[in-house]
Chains A and B, each alone.
Chain A
Amino acid sequence: MAKSLGPVKRKFSPWTDPNAVPFIRFENITKRFGDFVAVDNLTLDIYEREFFSLLGPSGCGKTTLMRMLAGFEEPTEGRILLQGQDISGVPPYRRPTNMMFQSYALFPHMSVEKNIAFGLEQDNMPKGEITARVQEMLKLVKLEQFAKRKPNQLSGGQRQRVALARSLAKRPKVLLLDEPLGALDKKLREETQFELMDLQQTLGMTFLIVTHDQEEAMTVSDRIAVMDKGVIMQVATPAEIYEAPNSRYVADFIGDINIIEGKVADTASALGAPGAVKIETEGLSITVDQECQAVKGDHVAFAIRPEKVRISPDAPADPSVNAFYGEVWDIGYLGDFSLFIVRSEDGRFMRAAQANVSRLVDRPITFEDKVWLTWPRDAGLVLTR
């Protein structure tokens, strides 16, 4: 039975089609500022109508990459292709991209409608059309009654909408969003994320978003590129990034995860099942169903998300199941989830999260309880990098 990772958001996956032509192509891009290498020989394809995220900690080069696409920085080496055309050397005011700035960068001396009309005026669009387009944009972001206001007479959320309207007004081929929702509070941010997705679907544009907020990237994107120190660690769908990270870095960067270092004790053939790996560490033996390049004796890491670990006061009936025995060291109650931190006798820690599906519990697990953590063989994965 073929299994899939996570829910399928929409049937859209040009990256799996070998004949698909990338809309934007970063080709062996390197960017140096003095001795500092911001982007290191990076190659990346983004497809038309894709909602693509660049995700990483600050200083990982994601903003530099976006600024190179907008034309504010020139790559030191490599080239950027937009619809097959090299856009190196094209100044920002002649590129078919528009950007929504982190600070919004609204012109403080212009009213909301003047801000939105600014880009259209540069194209010498007839006055009537400008007015019509501005109205359309104001309606799109629900700010009709604020047209005459100056930016400093607006709240943060309203400014963010004006910035969005302004960057969308010219119908750019690619919309670049630099930490667009960073300044908003959590509720408003979540709302806006869904609005952004709707907009992108309706307008059929390619969106490239830079963010350090992994939840935001997970929510809005078709694909995410996780970056670190100027290098892309993994490019994949949100579900793949979460469920099948390709390295310790990505696994650790996205969400909460238990990582246990160990050695490969046995591989598929010996275990009987195809594609199974047995990892052994001191006092713990874990079997994982996973096709893996690792061979016996390799140093690898076993990674498992806390919500995939079951917690129980009773020992598992089947002694061959993956299990971790210890006492409850700490409990975090998060409302929807409870997080248990369990300490084994030899001082190893493992986290298990349990959904609080019912309000009342018969036998609550509490501090210093002896518990068994168990997980099926396909719940975690082996990381070789």
Chain B
Amino acid sequence: MRSPRFDTTVLTLGFAFLYIPIIILVVYSFNASRLVTVWGGFSLHWYSAMWSNQGLMDAAWVTARVGVLSATLGTILGTLAALALTRFARFPGRMAFSGMIYAPLVMPEVITGLSLLLLFVAMGVDRGFWTVTIAHTTFTMCYVAIVVQSRLLTFDRSLEEAALDLGCPPVKTFFKITLPLIFPAVIAGWMLAFTLSLDDLVIASFNTGPGATTLPIKIYSQVRLGVTPEINAICTILIGLVTIGVIASSLTTKRAEIRRIRDEHLAIRNAAS
């Protein structure tokens, strides 16, 4: 019963289901009306309103700082974890270590958030910017570890051995050989970590405190009071940022691929001449 028409219909429905809500959200961010669902003509009013909404802007700033900081910390820790897992084939507790690295991936966010909250309470730490950052670091770290580990698995270890053999001590070898070569994976891990931190609501809401309201928390609490097109506006900007990020990273990958192919052609020509 498969026909081209059937395929097209299914495909269209699928895409519609995924993207129509987003399109509606974007369209209504340019709505002149105060009502979210009634079109009242084109306007950029909500963008300027959003801009002058101090609460929203503060939340955005907190989110950006938490995102950059936790993504950076998570990337460092995640990269180290990935190195430990790929470089040391056998060490006591390796299975437990690897299991514990990956557990947050499948752990319900509510549990991660709650357990961290209990930890902070037990330690008597005041919740705020730093607790959110630490919480985000712990759960983004495992994503980074996975991305970096998959790169390290295909990494030719003889490159490091060659550096050692030529007189380069291990730590220097890491910075001169290993890190530059796995850097794209590390950057990809960072971007993933940043994005995850950016849109996390559950873990952040458990571990936040006064003065450290992140954007998702702010949006969520505003929605409860009634949706204003301001929310649409800020969501549109977020979508825009993510889209630019995705396109940029795929373009970089594509360009690297094109360069690799060109290099190989060059090599074949050299060999022939």
Q: Report yes or no: A152 in contact with B264, Cβ–Cβ below 8 A.
A: yes
B187 to chain A, nearest CB (A): 15
Judged by a CB distance under 8 angstroms, whether A78 is at the interface is no
Complex interface: chain A residues within 8 A of B159 (CB): 105, 107-108
Given A103-B156, A122-B168, A158-B270, decide whether A152 and B163 contact each other with a Cβ distance below 8 A: no
Partner among A71, A156, A170 whose Cβ is within 8 Å of the Cβ of B166: A170
Partner among B158, B167, B177, B271 whose Cβ is within 8 Å of the Cβ of A119: B167
Mark contacts of B29-53 with chain A using CB atoms, 8 A cut-off: 1 yes-contact digit, 0 otherwise.
0000000000000000000000000
Q: Report yes or no: B168 in contact with A105, Cβ–Cβ below 8 A.
A: no
Q: Report yes or no: A155 in contact with B267, Cβ–Cβ below 8 A.
A: yes
Judged by a CB distance under 8 angstroms, whether B16 is at the interface is no
Partner among B161, B162, B170, B180 whose Cβ is within 8 Å of the Cβ of A109: B180
Judged by a CB distance under 8 angstroms, whether B181 is at the interface is yes
A146 to chain B, nearest CB (A): 8
Q: Report yes or no: B180 in contact with A93, Cβ–Cβ below 8 A.
A: no
Complex interface: chain B residues within 8 A of A97 (CB): 165
Complex interface: chain A residues within 8 A of B156 (CB): 103, 105
Partner among A72, A106, A118, A156 whose Cβ is within 8 Å of the Cβ of B271: A156
Mark contacts of A87-123 with chain B using CB atoms, 8 A cut-off: 1 yes-contact digit, 0 otherwise.
0000111110111011101111100000000110011
Partner among B163, B167, B181, B271 whose Cβ is within 8 Å of the Cβ of A108: B181
Q: Report yes or no: A105 in contact with B270, Cβ–Cβ below 8 A.
A: no
Majority SS at the chain B contact face: helix
Given A72-B161, A105-B158, A108-B181, decide whether A93 and B267 contact each other with a Cβ distance below 8 A: no
Name which residue of chain A comes closest to B271, CB basis: A155
Complex interface: chain A residues within 8 A of B163 (CB): 107, 118
User: In the docked arrangement, what's the CA distance between A170 and B168, Å?
Assistant: 13
Mark contacts of A125-168 with chain B using CB atoms, 8 A cut-off: 1 yes-contact digit, 0 otherwise.
00000000000000000000000001011111110000000110
Complex interface: chain A residues within 8 A of B169 (CB): 91, 93
Partner among A102, A109, A170 whose Cβ is within 8 Å of the Cβ of B167: A170
Interface members, chain B 146-170 (any A CB < 8 Å): 156, 158-159, 161-170
Partner among A91, A95, A109, A153 whose Cβ is within 8 Å of the Cβ of B263: A153
Complex interface: chain B residues within 8 A of A93 (CB): 164-170
Judged by a CB distance under 8 angstroms, whether A371 is at the interface is no
Judged by a CB distance under 8 angstroms, whether A24 is at the interface is no
A152 to chain B, nearest CB (A): 4
User: In the docked arrangement, what's the CA distance between A108 and B182, Å?
Assistant: 12
Partner among B177, B260, B267 whose Cβ is within 8 Å of the Cβ of A154: B267
Q: Report yes or no: A118 in contact with B166, Cβ–Cβ below 8 A.
A: yes
Complex interface: chain B residues within 8 A of A156 (CB): 271
User: In the docked arrangement, what's the CA distance between A71 and B168, Å?
Assistant: 13
Judged by a CB distance under 8 angstroms, whether A209 is at the interface is no
Complex interface: chain A residues within 8 A of B267 (CB): 152-155, 158
User: In the docked arrangement, what's the CA distance between A122 and B172, Å?
Assistant: 10
Partner among A109, A118, A119, A155 whose Cβ is within 8 Å of the Cβ of B268: A155
Judged by a CB distance under 8 angstroms, whether A217 is at the interface is no
Q: Report yes or no: A118 in contact with B270, Cβ–Cβ below 8 A.
A: no
Interface centre among A98, A122, A156 (most CB of B within 10 A): A122
Given A105-B156, A105-B158, A158-B270, decide whether A152 and B260 contact each other with a Cβ distance below 8 A: yes
Q: Report yes or no: B158 in contact with A152, Cβ–Cβ below 8 A.
A: no
Judged by a CB distance under 8 angstroms, whether B238 is at the interface is no
Interface members, chain B 121-168 (any A CB < 8 Å): 156, 158-159, 161-168
Partner among A95, A99, A158 whose Cβ is within 8 Å of the Cβ of B162: A99
Interface members, chain A 32-80 (any B CB < 8 Å): 70-72
Complex interface: chain B residues within 8 A of A155 (CB): 267-268, 270-271
Complex interface: chain B residues within 8 A of A91 (CB): 164, 169
User: In the docked arrangement, what's the CA distance between A255 and B260, Å?
Assistant: 42
Name which residue of chain B comes closest to A108, CB basis: B181
Partner among B165, B181, B271 whose Cβ is within 8 Å of the Cβ of A98: B165
B64 to chain A, nearest CB (A): 31
B168 to chain A, nearest CB (A): 5
Judged by a CB distance under 8 angstroms, whether B237 is at the interface is no
User: In the docked arrangement, what's the CA distance between A70 and B165, Å?
Assistant: 7
Name which residue of chain A comes closest to B169, CB basis: A93
Tell me the A residues contacting B by CB distance below 8 Å.
70-72, 91-95, 97-99, 101-103, 105-109, 118-119, 122-123, 150, 152-158, 166-167, 170
Tell me the B residues contacting A by CB distance below 8 Å.
156, 158-159, 161-170, 177, 180-181, 260, 263-264, 266-268, 270-271
| Besides A101-B158, A105-B156, A158-B267, 14 other A-B contacts (C-beta < 8 A) | A71-B165, A93-B166, A93-B169, A93-B170, A122-B166, A150-B263, A152-B260, A152-B263, A152-B267, A155-B270, A157-B271, A166-B162, A167-B165, A170-B167
Q: Which 8 A-B pairs have the closest CB atoms?
A: A155-B271, A119-B166, A122-B167, A105-B162, A105-B158, A152-B263, A92-B164, A153-B263
